[in-house]
Chains A and B, each alone.
Chain A
């Protein structure tokens, strides 16, 4: 069964450092998403990406965050200057159509720990 692949599975970084989280969506999917889940809290939407541009973003997705699809397969989330409160599980997801039609396929996540 096709999978969304995320790397690394766990990243520890110092406050103020830049991190890049990587995702390889399912190959025929056109819509890509980042969500995060702080330990013990709700899953929160960050951003959706379609046709090489952001289609929607949340209030969490401020100027410290950016997304990119640098080639035909990878989809990345960059956090420019990490804060302690950025510590969370970050999930990439993809869908064939607009995600709220049929739901998403999530990757296994990257656990980001900011120290």
Chain B
């Protein structure tokens, strides 16, 4: 059974600080890794994708991938109250299917 694990939180971070979100996955052959943001009652919104080991930066977001440790993380710099949401880690389970973590609830405190 392919699994994606995340700490459910909530993770509380002061405004302006760095939020660090983590995810581990079980399937060593997974090739694609995604971070989605989900506001309550809304659909997931893709914010970052990463495919090779190392860091990938996009604005205030940095995704980090370590395939040897089967570990993906997301850093959010200069956290804003609007970043408060649940962050979902998703990992490719096949050509078509993503396997999802349960999400980490992030709260940015003004």
Q: Which residues of A contact B (CB under 8 A)?
A: 31, 33, 41-45, 48, 50, 55-56, 58, 89, 91, 98-109
Q: How many inter-chain residue pairs (CB < 8 Å) link A and B?
A: 66
Q: State whether the Cβ of B32 lies closer than 8 Å to any Cβ in chain A.
A: yes
Contact across chains for A48 and B42 when beta carbons are under 8 A apart: no
Contact string against A for B residues 92-103, beta-carbon threshold 8 Å, 1 for contact and 0 otherwise: 111111111111
Q: How far is the CA of A55 from the CA of B42 in the complex (A)?
A: 27
Taking chain B's interface residues, is the majority helix, strand, or loop, or is none over half, making it mixed? Answer: loop
Contact across chains for B49 and A43 when beta carbons are under 8 A apart: no
Contact across chains for B43 and A31 when beta carbons are under 8 A apart: no
Q: Which residues of B contact A (CB under 8 A)?
A: 31-32, 34, 36, 42-46, 49, 88, 90, 92-103
Closest to A46 in B: B97
9 contacts between A and B (CB under 8 A): A42-B102, A43-B44, A45-B99, A99-B95, A100-B31, A103-B32, A103-B36, A103-B98, A104-B98
Residues of A within 8 Å of B97, CB to CB, are: 45, 48, 56, 58, 99-100
Contact across chains for A100 and B92 when beta carbons are under 8 A apart: yes
Contact across chains for B96 and A108 when beta carbons are under 8 A apart: no
Residues of A within 8 Å of B43, CB to CB, are: 89, 91, 106-109
Closest beta carbon of chain B to A43's beta carbon, Å: 4
Contact across chains for A100 and B98 when beta carbons are under 8 A apart: yes
Determine which of B36, B45, B95 lies in contact with A98 in the assembled complex, contact meaning CB atoms within 8 Å.
B95
